[in-house]
Structure 1
Amino acid sequence: MIRVVVAEDQRMLRGALTSLIKFEKDIEVVAEVSDGQQAWEAIQQYKPDVCLADIEMPNMTGLELAENLRSEGNGCKIIIVTTYGRPGYLQKAVDAKVEGYLLKDEPIDYLITSIRKVMNGERVISTDLAAALLLKEESPLTERETEVLRLTKSGLTTSDITRELFLTKGTVRNYLSSAIQKLGADSRQQAVNIAVEKGWI
């Protein structure tokens, strides 16, 4: 019996996934949870074979969950289920060594087959996403520009960033200005949005 945890913050979708999986004689849903932290706790408690995880969840994203599980050597297999076909997200998922990365509009049969495939040691990626991975753009940002944008995304002001990175305000503004220019953005927030969409921060 394949033991599965379903982690999805949309209640209707979580319930639908769970109900459909229950029709399978060789797969059992041992827990269904609404955020990443609950998923982490359920995996520790129930020791499932597979976790179906949404990429964008409160408290801990699906990618953070995967990274945390890998860093502690947990053998639970992760299948990210997402609406996002962005190459950057997919690359992060590959880097986090997830076993599956599926779009939510795939047929349920594809999901069920994918669960069985990852249990057999295979890696499964939606066909459309595999093509997107090949077209992945390289980030034009330097390491410092990336760091400054990441801190901006976290809600830090220029003054906060100067303290965090031990830089002057002028230097931080220069990094922000350079990042905005490289990304063809009109503002720091737009630059953050572009970098997030492409999976660069």
Structure 2
Amino acid sequence: MTSFCLEVSGPFACFTRPEMKVERVSYDVMTPSAARSIFESVLWKPAIRWRVHRIEVLKPFRWINLRRNEVSAVVSTRNVQQAMAAGSGTLGLYIEDERQQRAGYFLRDVAYRIHADLSLAPGGTEPLMKYTEMFTRRASKGQCVNQPYLGCREFAAAFSLVTADTPPATPIGETRELGWMLHDLDFTRPSDPQPRFFNAKLDKGVVQVPPFEEARG
């Protein structure tokens, strides 16, 4: 197991609370699943696993209300299956017909340092050093499989690898309870993934993330 740290930042972020059914409202702090997705955007392979264990908040909390245009529908699975069977089909959505406005309560001007362990997936046979070197090389050059984002894909994130030579960063000094926060999804049943939560606490700007096995459904 090897630990890495990335510093990520962006002008906006939204780590959506699942209990908000209509409007988007962000958690106060980046969720472990959002942090994991940033590591995976730099390097993802079926043979490896990322486990986020620490999130450091580097900038004070700032909020903004925004109203955005969103699409209210997705292409149905049935239409995709019919198009695949027939060899052709119409799978487009007409934005003008499906557009809706939704208000959101988002974070603004955010920066974090996220820490995660890299390990081999069960049954992995290749040396971990191979993936350690791949991630270090890619993160150092700013390379990624897809653009990292802060909760919503339109909120792109800048990232850099934190090494021993990187200047230190001091988390904010705030300490308070954050309540139940989404940890990640449990894919034990791939057809019906279930959310798992943990009781999060901000301690002098740092959230310690427990192992996924300790999270509750």
TM-score, normalisation: structure 1: 0.23
More strand by share: 2
TM-score, normalisation: structure 2: 0.21
More helix by share: 1
Which structure has more RCO (C-alpha within 8 Å, separation ≥ 6)?
Answer: 2
